[in-house]
Structures are given as structure tokens and as C-alpha cells.
């Protein structure tokens, strides 16, 4: 397959990155987030500079059985491209059949999840459970690569726990199986989402494989993305929770990479407009009533860090129609100075403050 270029940025050449056969306009990628990264959020993040977006994690078994809910979650808008469908599978046969069916939707690629730490997924021998069976994991990747008519990537953690840090072994295995690139979440399964991400593990993988490597973990601000890329030499960064209610992080990463200077944070009015657009798209997709209820978690994120947001949140979660939500949000924003306000992210993480150690090169050999 010849390289494809997807551009939403007016000057993508300074930021473009090659991931397998795809050339992206930005190395800042939206992570798949269960319950969050629906089509509306993906479109909004693309508009604000995300180089690529992913579906929420789907079930390989649900796909194999042609579950209506699964295929609704996999559906996408052309504006989202480049768009990958992420799913988890527990065996090669199931994975291959799911890949064939998902390929019929014509996404730009498929992503296999070997990182989900949720107990229900682990109990069914999916997600992070496969980190303990590298040969089976590799056979699943190989089966999907053979069955899919699109590029295949892999998202994984750095190991089951600190006694079994096998990220390099897994990355080599998936590269040999034909994966176009690998995303490394720099935590173990046992850590879930707690503690600091161990960026040095991403660097070890990058030094060990020839396929592109995407780094994931503790990217809360644009500066974190640049530090992660500089420290690990990874090809791109995946941003998850920091993008909830703040799609502007992608334009901030792009600006910092391109100009070497930070971009001012979004203003309250910009947050309000982004929220309006996201709610509108959600209502178009699933109806107003359901959209308003599901939008509440996004709305709370949109106003985090704004003066007086606690009182607004108390009111907002009682509203049940889109006009009422937006009127309340506009009224709240109108009471604030329209000046840049950054969302409040923790600053006590040693990775954020740059207290880094060099990657252990010996384990990457």
C-alpha cells in the first residue's frame, strides 16, 4: 500500500509523521477511550489537530457475531480519517473473522488491544491477559494482518507487572507478525492508571524494533508530549484523558512542535463553542435525550478549572435538554473574563517536571 496523507492542518509538512503506510499531519494522536471517544469527540479532536483517531475498544466476539451495537460503535464520519477501529480478541480464529468484518467498513486500519486492564476483559483472556502469553498474542496479530485489507497496529502495556516487564519481547513479536507500528502504554497491567508512567520503557522498545513506536502515558500538556518524544525518540504520542473536555491540547502540541513556543490555552468561550459542537453531533447521532445524559461527563470536563465551576456543575447535571444545557453554559461563560485559562493538571509527576533517567539500553538489545 502506498503512503496516504491526511491533512487538516494548513501547514502539515513541519509536523507530518510516517506510521507504517500512513503519513499523518501530526504526531499527536487521540487514544481510544471507552465511553468517551465516540464519533463526536473524534471529529472535534481532528478539527483541533489530532493526527489520527481511534474508536472505542470493541469486542472481537461481538464483531464476529455481527452485533448491531458493536457495528454502530465502529461507524465513523469521513471527517475523522485517518480512523482506526480498535478491538480485542482472545484467539486467532475469532480475531481474523472480526478483522474481515471490520475491514468491510473501510477504516484506515485496525488496532489490536493488548493493554486493557479491566477485570471483565482479563477474565475472558483478552486485553492485558495476553501479555502473559506472547506466542498466542503474536498468532492473533498475524491472523489479523493476513485477514485485514488495511494496516494493523497494536496497543500494549509494558508487562503484566514489574516482575514480568516484557515490552521489548512483545514489540519484537508483533513486528515479526506484521504489525505496522506499536503503541506502548508505559505502565504495567497491575498499575492500571495509577502512579507515574515509566517513559524509559517506551525508549527501550523504540531502541529494539524497526517499526514505528507511539508513546502513551502521562501526556497532560503540550510540553509533556514534546518531552516524551525527545526522551524516548518515539515517532508519535497518544493522548487520552487530557483530551476529554479539552480537544485544544492537539493544537497546542502542534504549535509547540512547529514553533518551539507554547500556545495560549483556550478561552472559556472557545470551550463553550467546542462543547456546543460536540453536543450537537451527539444529538444528531443518538437523539437529544440520550445525548444530553451522555454528554454530562464531557460537560463537567469542559468547565474544569474555570472560576465558579463547582456551582455550575451542580446545576448542569440536572438539565435534560440540549437548549437548557447550552443556555446554562453560555450564561456561565459570559460571567467570566474571556482570557486563556489552562485546565488544572497535576504537576507533582516527576515525568512532567523532567526528572528523567536514561532508558536502560541493555534490556533493549
- pLDDT attached to residue 194: 84
Q: Which of 45, 116, 234, 272 is catalytic?
A: 116
What is the dotted CATH code of the domain comprising 268-334? 1.10.1200.80
- Residue 271 DSSP code: H
Rounded mean pLDDT for each run of 10 residues along the chain, 365 residues in total: 40 78 97 96 98 97 93 96 97 97 97 93 92 97 97 96 94 98 95 89 97 96 97 97 96 97 97 98 96 96 94 91 96 95 62 32 27
Q: Where in the chain is the domain with CATH 3.20.20.70?
A: 4-259
What is residue 314's three-state secondary structure? Answer: helix
CB distance 41 to 245 below 8 Å = no
C-alpha cell at 220: 497532560
- Contact assessment for residue 9 and residue 15, using Cβ atoms and an 8 Å cutoff: yes
Q: Is 328 exposed, middle or buried (0-12, 13-18, 19+ CB in 10 A)?
A: middle
Task: Give the pLDDT confidence score for residue 200 in this predicted structure.
Answer: 97
**Domain at 4-259, CATH class:** alpha beta
Domain with CATH 1.10.1200.80 in the chain: 268-334
**pLDDT value for 13:** 55
**116 assigned to active site:** yes
The reported pLDDT for the residue numbered 195 is: 83
Strands 4-6 and 213-216: unpaired
How many residues in total does the chain contain? 365
Determine how many CB atoms are found less than 10 A away from the CB of residue 8: 16
Amino acid at each position: 500500500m502506498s503512503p496516504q496523507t491526511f491533512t487538516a492542518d494548513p501547514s502539515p509538512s513541519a509536523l507530518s509523521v510516517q506510521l507504517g503506510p500512513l503519513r499523518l499531519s501530526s504526531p499527536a494522536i487521540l487514544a481510544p477511550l471507552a465511553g468517551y471517544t465516540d464519533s463526536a469527540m473524534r471529529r472535534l479532536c481532528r478539527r483541533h489537530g489530532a493526527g489520527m483517531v481511534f474508536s472505542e475498544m470493541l469486542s472481537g466476539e461481538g464483531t464476529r457475531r455481527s452485533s448491531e451495537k458493536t457495528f454502530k460503535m465502529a461507524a465513523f464520519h469521513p471527517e475523522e480519517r485517518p480512523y482506526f477501529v480498535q478491538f480485542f480478541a482472545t484467539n486467532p480464529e475469532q480475531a481474523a473473522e472480526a478483522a474481515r468484518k471490520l475491514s468491510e467498513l473501510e477504516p484506515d486500519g485496525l488496532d489490536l488491544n493488548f493493554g486493557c486492564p479491566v477485570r471483565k476483559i482479563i477474565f475472558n483472556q483478552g486485553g492485558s491477559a495476553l501479555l502473559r502469553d506472547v506466542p498466542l498474542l503474536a498468532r492473533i496479530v498475524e491472523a489479523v494482518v493476513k485477514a485485514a485489507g488495511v494496516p494493523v497496529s497494536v496497543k500494549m502495556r509494558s508487562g503484566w507487572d514489574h516482575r514480568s516487564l516484557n515490552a521489548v519481547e512483545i514489540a519484537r513479536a508483533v513486528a515479526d507478525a506484521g504489525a505496522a507500528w506499536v503503541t506502548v502504554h508505559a505502565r504495567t497491567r497491575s498499575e492500571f492508571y495509577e502512579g507515574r508512567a515509566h517513559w524509559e520503557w517506551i525508549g527501550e522498545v523504540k531502541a529494539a524494533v524497526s517499526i514505528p513506536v507511539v508513546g502513551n502515558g502521562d501526556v497532560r500538556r503540550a510540553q509533556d508530549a514534546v518531552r516524551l518524544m525527545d526522551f524516548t525518540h518515539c515517532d508519535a504520542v497518544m493522548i487520552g484523558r487530557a483530551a476529554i473536555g479539552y480537544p485544544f491540547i492537539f493544537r497546542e502540541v502542534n504549535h509547540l512542535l512547529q514553533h518551539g513556543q507554547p500556545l495560549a490555552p483556550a478561552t472559556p468561550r472557545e470551550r463553550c463553542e467546542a462543547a456546543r459542537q460536540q453536543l450537537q453531533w451527539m444529538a444528531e447521532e443518538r437523539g437529544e435525550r440520550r445525548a444530553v445524559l451522555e454528554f454530562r461527563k464531557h460537560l463537567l470536563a469542559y468547565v474544569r478549572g474555570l472560576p465558579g465551576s463547582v456551582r455550575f456543575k451542580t446545576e448542569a447535571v440536572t438539565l435534560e435538554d440540549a437548549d437548557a444545557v447550552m443556555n446554562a453554559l453560555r450564561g456561565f461563560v459570559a460571567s467570566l473574563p474571556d482570557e486563556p485559562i489552562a485546565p488544572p493538571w497535576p504537576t507533582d509527576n516527576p515525568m512532567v517536571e523532567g526528572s528523567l533517567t536514561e532508558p536502560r539500553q541493555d534490556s533493549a538489545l
